[in-house]
Structure 1
Amino acid sequence: MAINKAYQTYQNNAVNTASGGELTLMLYNGCIKFIKQAMNNIENNQIEEKNKHIQKAQSIIQELMLTLNQEVEISQQMLPLYEYMNYQLTEGNIKNDVSHLEEALHFATEFRDTWKQVLQQTRQKEHTQGAQV
C-alpha cells in the first residue's frame, strides 16, 4: 500500500509541475493507454471494462478539443480530426470492433509523436537562446 501511495504522490507532483505542453503530451499518452486497454478488453470479451476505457479516451479527446485555440489555423484543422477520433471510438464501442479503435489509436499516436517533437525542438531552441545570453 505504501508503494501505491508513493506512486500516486509522484503522479500528482508530475501533473502539478508540468508545463502546458507537457500536460498535452500526458493527455495523448493517457489516450493511447486507454485505447490499447479497450482493444485488449474487446479481445478478452470484457465489455464493461472496454466501455470504461473508451469513455476515458473520449474524455481526453474532449479535453483536447476544449483547449484548442480557434484563432490559430492549426486548431481549426485539428478539431475535425479529434471529432473523427471520437467517432471511431464510439463506433468501436458500439460494435466491439477493434479496427475502429486501431484507427483512433493511429491518430492519437501520430499526434503524440508530433507533439513530442515540437516540445523537444522548443526546449532545444530555449536552451540555445539561454546559452547565448
Structure 2
Amino acid sequence: MNPYGNPQAYRESSVFTASPEQLVVMLYDGAIRFLRQAEVALGEQAWQHGFERLTRGEAIIDELLATLNMDTGEIAERLQAIYVFCKRCLIEARLQRAPEKVGHVIALLADLRESWAKLAQGAGEAQAAPTTSLQA
C-alpha cells in the first residue's frame, strides 16, 4: 500500500507522531471545520445536515473538556469555562436555529487554536534545538 496515495493513512500517521500540543491543534481544526459546515447549513436552513455537523463539533469540544488536566490550576479552569460556554452557545444555536451563535463559537475556538499552534511550534523548536553543555 502506498501511504502517499492514502489520505487516511497519512492522517493516522500524523496523529500517531504528533506532540500533545499538536493533537490539541488538530482537535481545534476538526471542531472549527465541522462548525463552519454547521454554520453554512443552518444559514441555508438545511437543518438535519447542520445539526449533524453541530453534533460532531460538540463531540470534539467534549474531547477537549475531557483532556483538561484540572490539577494544573487556573488555565485549565478558564479553558473549562470557555468550553462549557461554547457548548451552551451551540445548544442555543441548535434550539434557535441560529447560525450566528455558531459563528461566535468558531471565533473563540479559532483564537484558542492560534494560541495552541504557537505553543506547539515553540515546543517543537525546543525539542529540535541542539542541547549544549556549558562549562565554566
C-alpha displacement of 1:42? 1.1
Q: For residues 123 and 9 of structure 2, what CA distance do their matches in structure 1 show?
A: 28
Aligned to 1:101: 102
Task: State whether residues 90 and 105 of structure 2, in contact with CA within 8 Å, keep that contact through their aligned partners in structure 1.
Answer: yes
Question: After superposition, where does 1:19-34 map in structure 2 within 5 Å?
Answer: 19-34=19-34
CA separation in 2, counterparts of 1:10 and 1:68? 27
Give the whole-Å Cα distance in 1 for the aligned partners of 2:67 and 2:17: 19
Q: 1:54 to 1:122 in 2, by over 3 A?
A: same
TM value normalised by structure 2: 0.87
Identity %: 22
Larger displacement relative to structure 2 (95-104 or 108-117): 95-104
Over 3 Å counting, the alpha-carbon distance change for 1:33 and 1:127 in structure 2 is: same
Q: CA–CA distance in 1 between the matches of 2:52 and 2:24?
A: 21
- Unaligned segments of structure 1, at least 5 residues: none
| Structure 2, unpaired ranges of 5+ | none
The count of residues paired between Structure 1 and Structure 2 equals 129
Greater alpha carbon shift after TM alignment, 38-47 vs 117-126: 117-126
Q: Specify the code of the residue in structure 1 equivalent to 2:127.
A: E
2:19/2:120 contact within 8 Å kept: no
Q: TM-score, normalised by structure 1?
A: 0.89
The C-alpha deviation readout for 1:25-81, integer Å capped at 9, x for no partner, is 100000000110001101222111101100111101111111100011210111111
1:53 aligns with 2:18: no
Per the TM alignment, residue 19 of structure 1 is displaced from its structure 2 partner at its CA by: 2.0
Match of 1:114 in 2: 115
Larger Rg: 2
Counterpart secondary structure, 2:71? coil
Structure 1 residue 125 corresponds to structure 2 residue 129: no
Q: Does 1:36 pair with 2:30? A: no
Greater RCO structure (CA 8 Å; 6+ sep): 2
Distance change (3 Å), C-alpha of 1:6 and 1:127:
closer
